[in-house]
Structure 1
Amino acid sequence: MRTHSYAPVLSLVALCTVGLQARAYELYNENDGATVLNADLWAGVGWYTANKNYLGDPEREPGRMHWQEGFIKYGLSGATDKIAAGSLYGGLSMISSGSFGDGDPGGLTNGEERRTSLEDAYLGWKSADMFPALGTDGVDFSFGRQIVTLDGFLITDDGFSPGRAFNPIEGVSDGRFDRGGAFYLGPRLAFGSSAVLKLGGTEGLHGSMMWLKIDSPGQSKTEVAAATVDYTTAFGSIGSTYIHGLHVDEHYAFGDRMEREGMDVYSIRGQGDAGIENADFAFEVARQEKRSGSQRAMFFDAGYTFNDVRWKPAVSYRFSRYSEGWDFLFQGGYRKRLQGEVGVNYAGSVTSNMRINDVQFSVQPTEKLTLNAMYFNFHQLSRRDEQDYSAQEIDLFLDWMVTDNITLSPLVGFYKPDKWRETGGLQSGPGTNTYMQFIVWMEF
């Protein structure tokens, strides 16, 4: 049985780093922002094609697959400091999504998914200057349906969005795991229920405590408690995360998901420039304690941007490793960067029992255009279920902010596994799979 990460949602976050910042249409503004109400609209549509599949079905022709995805998110958000103490903020939104065509080559969607559902519904309070020892807004409490992201890679959001084709329980094909498709775009990011308390702001010593109930049936509707502590300076931050599994819905449990109940996860992490101008470093080492034993995962990356050179070329290297029984939890990737396009989305598990080396190179001809190239080497640590997912992948893509509201993101990827279906792998045939996508992001 294959499991899939929900790393594709990080492609959405990554776009924010090239200019697609959060925007909204201002409906009401009193006293220069004392009270603000915004209308929010976010949409995406993607066209995809691949000449191989990873369905594990010898009856399925290994020919080219074509599929499409789309979504639109619409709602309201606002804030006010016209209360007795501190300030209030909140948001309410809906999402409509769907998948079309053949479905994806990883067998998560079949092209018949459609859904409209509640997305954000949260309310929060910030303390302003009520607690001077904690700094301005040193207390920040929020609850409801909201996106929650921790530093590092253990909790990114609740973005795993499979469709009707995802049936990980043998004999079950009732569509219980369908979350509305749009698997790659992955716009459903909010946790179903949450309570988050942040203390100390973002500088010096600060931390958080939270309770999260995962909404995705593909994540077995897991419930967890978590805490973080960090120390942040101008050179970067060092911190630690602790996660405890509280509950798993047995109706949606598969594989080793029941081990999430009672599981403990610990990590040490850091990020920053270490005092080197234009440099960027990050790492995290994590350990899981569950009934079947201990598991480990880690990553390290280092990058440098040549800001004084034309087009500002940037290069970075990342090493990551997952032990054989590692549970990927609610990770979206490492630092807004996917573990490959074909590799992590469709071609089998690269988030357990795997060692990955990858390099990224990018240039920025203009402020609104970024060209990127990535190389991945996936090496499976040991054979699992007689299958080997070792492979190499190259991805070439660009992010072009055509207007203040529209960004285009075409990509071509080349994925070559060491093994294919007839020799102990998963790909439907030997050779290189050519994968192409074209995505339009819109935010108003």
Structure 2
Amino acid sequence: MGNSNRLWPSFFKNISGVTLTAIAVTQLPIAKAEYNFTYGDLSGSTSVLVGGAALSTKGVNFGLGQIDYRSGENHGDRADWFETFIKPKLELKYDLNDSVKFFSGLSFITTHTSGDGDAGGYTRGGDGRTSWEDLYLGAQYKDLSISAGRQSYVIGNGFIIADGHLGMLDEGTYWGDPRRAFEDTIILRYAGKSAFSAEAFTVTTDKHMGHQKLSGINMDYNSTYGKLGAAYIHVSDTDSNFQRTAPKNGMNVYDFRLMSMKLPGIDDLTLDAEYAVQRGSGEGVEFKGNAWYAQAAYTFSALPATPQITYRYAAFSGDDDATDGKRESWDPLAKGYMERGAWVIGDITGNYLLNNSNEVVGMWKAAFPITPEVTLGAAYYDFDLDKRNYYGTAVSSKEFADEAAIFADLTLTKNAYITLSYNQVKPKTAAKEVFGDKDFSAFQVYATYLF
């Protein structure tokens, strides 16, 4: 899958390395197979999700090689590894009366990595652990609900907030990390029968993402032609070692989006767009980052198998002077993987090389549902830098790399899913100056079964 929050080269925070097509656990196109039960006013469900991945990469980091994050040792430009996980889950709901309900959820995840460890060097063979994932309580009164604890939270399509965890080091499963829950959450939600919904929230990322606290308000409105959304987010309490390398305390984020928009008379065309800015100041740093994208997807409904073609242009600001007291580069915060190309952009580039900052990328994607159970597809990404530097290292060109991919998604049964993909990245001038001139390729298989 893809780890949506990787580490930056040199100080490795929030970012990058290499790899493949990701299928986020919460987005798997499989039927739910949990066991449902009712005992009076108490109801609930249980399930067990198991998954695994086999990965083989060549030309790692364009030939520079797999650098072990802990020791700095170079293990060569090839890495082969396996990742596995198991996630039991229990959800409960108690109906006090017609207006008042209580709910809770708990789950834990056991992970393991074997082989060479991931191509970015963030995990080794033998890494893995068991830890809590969901652990929350909540109450609902009519259209209002409040919940607190460890839980997942997503704004829009995950452009800014979706993933509260970075799997690395002894936790294992860097690439296919199934953990997504935020820590120390409080979410107050209004979701009635009207077209309007809103949340006030505070969520905290895990230690590998600096324990950054994200607090704010999110609003959505479902119109006849699509969904309109807006959010305000304030960033605070980031750990000091992360704050020194990627300052963000005091940052205010303003986000505006249009999702699944339809134009009258063109039912096969779907439009999406989002624009966000990072402003404010804190601890001697002024924030001036921005990011946006525009996307068009066209489904050929009159053709057999209804193929779909998608184009998206996305831009994330960079910074050409890290010493002027202004941070103009976009901070990806807690963006997450939601589907192929969003928001791990490029299965190799988006996991190990770039991380939605100082980045401009055009994406073409085609998907062909051969049968209801089988979809074949291809994707192409053209990556440029916004400013002529790679995480502070000067380069002579903004041209970074091109990535191409082919993939197959298979629903074997209502509970079993598998995806296969092959990706290849060709370096351009900037990547060659920082890394090397070899093609960076990856083959991967990822499968899940829901009991």
Smaller-chain TM-score bracket: 0.7 to 0.9
Deviations 1:390-437 (A, max 9, x none): 10001111110111221111111111111487x4122xx423222100
Partner residue, 1:125: 139
Structure 1 residues 302, 202: CA separation in 2 closer, same or farther (over 3 Å shift)? farther
User: How far apart are the structure 2 equivalents of 1:406 and 1:368?
Assistant: 11
- How far residue 382 of structure 1 moved from its aligned partner, in angstroms, is 2.2
Alignment of 1:107-126 (within 5 A): 107-126=121-140
Does residue 1:332 correspond to 2:336, yes or no?
Answer: yes
Does residue 1:425 correspond to 2:434, yes or no?
Answer: yes
Partner residue, 1:157: 163
Does residue 1:181 correspond to 2:172, yes or no?
Answer: yes
User: How far apart are the structure 1 equivalents of 2:338 and 2:105?
Assistant: 27
| Corresponding residue to 1:209 among 184, 200, 203 | 200
AA matched with 2:433:
G
Structure 1 residues 356, 265: CA separation in 2 closer, same or farther (over 3 Å shift)? same
Give yes or no for contact 1:53–1:65 (8 Å, CA) kept in 2.
Answer: yes
Does residue 1:301 correspond to 2:295, yes or no?
Answer: yes
Q: Find the residue that maps to 1:344 and give its secondary structure.
A: helix
Does residue 1:29 correspond to 2:74, yes or no?
Answer: no
- How far residue 60 of structure 1 moved from its aligned partner, in angstroms, is 3.0
Partner residue, 2:110: 96
| Corresponding residue to 1:218 among 186, 191, 208 | 208
Deviations 1:238-258 (A, max 9, x none): 1211100121122555521xx
Q: Find the residue that maps to 2:245 and give its secondary structure.
A: coil
User: How far apart are the structure 1 equivalents of 2:121 and 2:244?
Assistant: 17
User: How far apart are the structure 2 equivalents of 1:56 and 1:420?
Assistant: 19
| Corresponding residue to 1:269 among 253, 257, 263 | 257
| Corresponding residue to 1:410 among 414, 417, 420 | 420
Partner residue, 2:350: 344
Give yes or no for contact 2:20–2:423 (8 Å, CA) kept in 1.
Answer: no
Does residue 1:393 correspond to 2:397, yes or no?
Answer: no
More strand by share: 2
RMSD: 2.5
- How far residue 160 of structure 1 moved from its aligned partner, in angstroms, is 2.0
TM-score (structure 2 length as normaliser):
0.84
AA matched with 2:261:
D
User: How far apart are the structure 1 equivalents of 2:368 and 2:346?
Assistant: 19
Partner residue, 2:79: 65
| Corresponding residue to 1:42 among 40, 49, 71 | 49
Partner residue, 2:366: 361
Partner residue, 1:172: none
User: How far apart are the structure 1 equivalents of 2:196 and 2:443?
Assistant: 45
AA matched with 1:377:
D
Structure 1 residues 221, 59: CA separation in 2 closer, same or farther (over 3 Å shift)? closer
Partner residue, 1:173: none
| Corresponding residue to 1:288 among 257, 278, 297 | 278
AA matched with 1:381:
D
Partner residue, 2:232: 242
Q: Find the residue that maps to 1:144 and give its secondary structure.
A: strand
Structure 1 residues 86, 9: CA separation in 2 closer, same or farther (over 3 Å shift)? farther
Aligned-pair identity (%): 25
Which of 316-325 and 283-292 deviates more? 283-292
Structure 1 residues 202, 360: CA separation in 2 closer, same or farther (over 3 Å shift)? farther
Structure 1 residues 15, 186: CA separation in 2 closer, same or farther (over 3 Å shift)? same
AA matched with 1:366:
T
Structure 1 residues 159, 309: CA separation in 2 closer, same or farther (over 3 Å shift)? farther
- How far residue 369 of structure 1 moved from its aligned partner, in angstroms, is 1.3
- How far residue 102 of structure 1 moved from its aligned partner, in angstroms, is 1.1
Partner residue, 1:313: 307
Partner residue, 1:442: 449
Q: Find the residue that maps to 2:54 and give its secondary structure.
A: strand
| Corresponding residue to 1:260 among 233, 242, 248 | 248
Give yes or no for contact 2:89–2:108 (8 Å, CA) kept in 1.
Answer: yes
User: How far apart are the structure 2 equivalents of 1:9 and 1:412?
Assistant: 8
User: How far apart are the structure 1 equivalents of 2:25 and 2:84?
Assistant: 17
Partner residue, 1:132: none
Does residue 1:382 correspond to 2:382, yes or no?
Answer: no
Deviations 1:341-379 (A, max 9, x none): 000112x22411110000110011111211121100001
Structure 1 residues 56, 403: CA separation in 2 closer, same or farther (over 3 Å shift)? closer
User: How far apart are the structure 2 equivalents of 1:309 and 1:35?
Assistant: 48
Give yes or no for contact 2:59–2:438 (8 Å, CA) kept in 1.
Answer: no
* Structure 1: tracts of 5 or more residues without a match: 129-137, 164-177
User: How far apart are the structure 2 equivalents of 1:59 and 1:197?
Assistant: 47
Partner residue, 1:11: 23
User: How far apart are the structure 2 equivalents of 1:361 and 1:11?
Assistant: 17
Q: Find the residue that maps to 1:114 and give its secondary structure.
A: coil
Partner residue, 1:197: 188
Q: Find the residue that maps to 1:11 and give its secondary structure.
A: coil
User: How far apart are the structure 1 equivalents of 2:117 and 2:193?
Assistant: 42
Give yes or no for contact 2:423–2:441 (8 Å, CA) kept in 1.
Answer: yes
Give yes or no for contact 2:22–2:347 (8 Å, CA) kept in 1.
Answer: no
- How far residue 21 of structure 1 moved from its aligned partner, in angstroms, is 3.7
Q: Find the residue that maps to 1:60 and give its secondary structure.
A: coil
User: How far apart are the structure 1 equivalents of 2:193 and 2:251?
Assistant: 28
User: How far apart are the structure 2 equivalents of 1:62 and 1:248?
Assistant: 34
AA matched with 1:392:
D
AA matched with 1:160:
L
Partner residue, 2:316: 322
